[in-house]
Chains A and B, each alone.
Chain A
Amino acid sequence: MKRFRGIRKGQNEGSIITEPIWLQRMLIGVAVGFVIVFLIAPLLIVFGQALAKGWDAYWEAIREPDTFKAIQLTLLTAAISVPLNLIFGVVAAWLIAKFDFWGKNFLLTLIDLPFAISPIISGLIFVLLFGLQGLLGPWLSQYNIKIVFAVPGIILATIFVTFPFVARELIPVMQSLGNEEEEAAIVLGANGWQMFFKVTLPNIKWGLLYGVILCNARAMGEFGAVSVVSGHIRGQTNTIPLQVEILYNEYNFTAAFAVASLLALLALITLIVKHVVEWKSGRHHSNSVQINRFKEGISHEY
């Protein structure tokens, strides 16, 4: 990455840019203005409103029992859905990057499916499947198993919408790495697990971590799909985003923004970790891999 930036900077200082200064300044101004209005101002407003009545009110809002439950449920949902998607993501990426088989493209498309459909539909799928009027609903009801409008439904919906993150992050990384190192490991007598943990995992760990971070952010922040399957029972089936909506609709603005600030904080942490990951991976990888990843990144833009 750094190298590319270096080249470009060098060119800028030359005579390639012919636009007049005022146009350059104006374009930069527009871009900066855009960033301030659409990214920085909303963030500041969230924190400003959250702390409008001071730290005590902020803590009070977060410790309120229903809100606290919502935070617990969000953590539980992420704690279950992220590891599952981590395992699936690694397996799927491995399969797609290292092997050729019939139906590979179909599998790729299938992994992208949750990205392509609206979260509302993702939620409705589960209602249609597990709801009382749905395909499996009557059978489940007989055995008193609750899926939709209960915690399992929320977790299922979350797993569904966060499905592609890890796999999508890993596939280009694994493809660019090729098979040579793994083949060498096998030739030198490693078994499958040894090869994976000693060769593959160290190579993909930063991409993997990044995928997990994104997956986690979405798992905690998902609104649409979860809203459909939640049933909105106070202190039972509301996650943080749903609780924010409820508080806002009850004219409880300080509390709504206080809880929203938790999600904003999560987003900030995500960005910081992402930055660290990119910086680290820049240092640990050889440049050729970097360039490959860069190219892959372009061709795999989704």
Chain B
Amino acid sequence: MKRKIGLLFALILVLTLGLVSVSAADRPITLLNVSYDPTRELYQDYNAAFVKYWKAKTGQTVTIQQSHGGSGSQARAVIDGLEADVVTLALAYDIDAIVEKAKLIPAQWQKRLPDNSAPYTSTIVFLVRKGNPKNIKDWDDLVKPGITVITPNPKTSGGARWNYLAAWGYALKKNGNNQQKAQEFVTKLFKNVPVLDSGARGSTNTFVQRGIGDVLLAWENEAFLALNELGKDKFEIIVPSISILAEPPVTIVDKVVDKRGTRKLAEEYLKYLYSREGQEIVARNYYRPRLKSVAEKYETQFPKVKLFTIDEVFGGWQKAQTIHFNDGGIFDKIYQAK
């Protein structure tokens, strides 16, 4: 018996080592892109295109590795030592956190690339069930009694913070910049939220798969994706009168690329996002492109909506984060009051 068990273990060990060594045989240069939840499909396409581009340009074969999760928790992982060559997160604050807590990136990172280091933008729209049975047209409809709203948790999800700020911004504009009124509005809105998922994709699944809620506050691209993947006959996108301009930023992680010797590659990887090909891929994955020519080509795809920026209304991410989302901030008060 002893021999049999020993033999069995030896067999398993040999098999696994065999499998592992085969895969380790040829290792090309790798680049790790740590990103947030809804960019899975975007970077899948983009990576394939970039690998081809890089091969044609330099003859080098590169492998781009991806990691996805809630924007906040991904930033946390990078802080704790996940060796990302580039980070492509949902909002600037999460990259600021990496600057602040781990000092892996210089403080003025956002100035290094055009357009606030955000090669694509997005906004927040509503996804409702087909035929819009609850007749949801604008932000005001979300605070009506009896409406259930699905949004992820602003504490962990970047998308959720954009959702929250979009609602806040709408209420400010409507009430002549009265912060008190805006807080009342957002409080009412969160009273209609039955469940807070930790990430945007989790919320989409709650709404789409589990059939909970009348309206999902979602990234525009996430809403389009849900339509395409799960059927245009089941859902509709509703565009509110006004929403927020979400600028998901990208940057290289200086300490990591210098250590791994991948700075050049990482920089080119991000620059290619701004190229015509990169912008086309961005637009095809329902992110709003920056490049004018591409934006015009895909004009019909994106509904026209009045957008305000976080700098205009909230004075930047640092301020918005401190006032609204840090422990003891307004969101905590709103959610406890529930």
Interface residues of chain A, those whose CB is within 8 Å of chain B, are 69, 72, 75-76, 78-79, 83, 127, 130-134, 137, 141, 144, 146, 148-149, 197, 201-202, 205, 209, 231-236, 246, 248-251
Contacts and interface: CB of A to CB of B under 8 A. Distances in A.
Contacts of B81: 130-134, 137, 141, 146, 148-149
Interface stretch (B1-9, B121-129, B141-149, B181-189): B1-9
Interface string B81-104: 111000000000000000001100
Given A148-B81, A149-B81, A76 B16 contact: yes
A125 to B, nearest CB: 12
B40 A250 contact: yes
Contacts of A127: 80
A132 B79 contact: yes
A146 B201 CA distance: 29
B191 interface: no
Interface in B1-36: 1-2, 5, 9, 12-13, 15-16, 19-20, 23, 32, 34
Given A249-B201, A250-B40, A134 B80 contact: yes
Contacts of A202: 1
26 contacts: A69-B23, A72-B16, A72-B19, A72-B23, A75-B16, A75-B19, A76-B19, A76-B20, A131-B80, A133-B101, A134-B81, A137-B81, A144-B259, A146-B83, A149-B81, A149-B83, A197-B2, A205-B1, A205-B5, A209-B5, A231-B77, A233-B66, A234-B67, A236-B65, A249-B201, A250-B41
B102 A132 contact: yes
A146 B81 CA distance: 9
Nearest to A132: B81
A234 B65 contact: yes
A146 B259 CA distance: 13
Contacts of A232: 67-69
B311 interface: no
Contacts of A131: 80-81
> SS class of chain A's interface: helix, strand, loop or mixed?
helix
Contacts of A235: 65
B323 interface: no
B240 interface: no
A133 B13 contact: no
Q: When A and B form their complex, which 8 residue pairs have the shortest distance between CB atoms, in order from nearest?
A: A132-B81, A131-B80, A149-B82, A251-B229, A231-B82, A79-B16, A232-B67, A75-B16
B2 A149 contact: no
Contacts of A149: 77, 80-83
A205 B16 CA distance: 25
A133 B80 contact: yes
A83 B10 CA distance: 10
B60 interface: no
Contacts of A246: 68
Interface in B248-266: 259
B313 to A, nearest CB: 31
A233 B65 contact: yes
A201 B67 contact: no
Nearest to A144: B259
Nearest to A209: B5
Contacts of A249: 37, 40, 201-202, 205
Given A132-B102, A231-B77, A249-B205, A75 B15 contact: yes
Contacts of B49: none
A236 to B, nearest CB: 6
Nearest to A86: B9
B230 interface: yes
Contacts of B16: 72, 75-76, 79
A131 B101 CA distance: 13
Contacts of B79: 132-133
Most chain B CB neighbours (cut-off 10 Å) among A132, A197, A248 = A132
A239 to B, nearest CB: 13
Contact of B20 (A72, A130, A148, A248): A72
A116 to B, nearest CB: 25
A63 B19 CA distance: 13
Contacts of A234: 65-67
Contacts of B34: 231
Contacts of B69: 232
Contacts of A236: 65
Contacts of B41: 250
Interface in B184-243: 201-202, 205, 229-230
A76 B77 CA distance: 24
Nearest to A232: B67
A148 B9 CA distance: 27
A78 B81 CA distance: 25
A276 B64 CA distance: 47
Nearest to A150: B83
B77 A83 contact: no
A131 B82 CA distance: 8
Contacts of A144: 259
A200 to B, nearest CB: 11
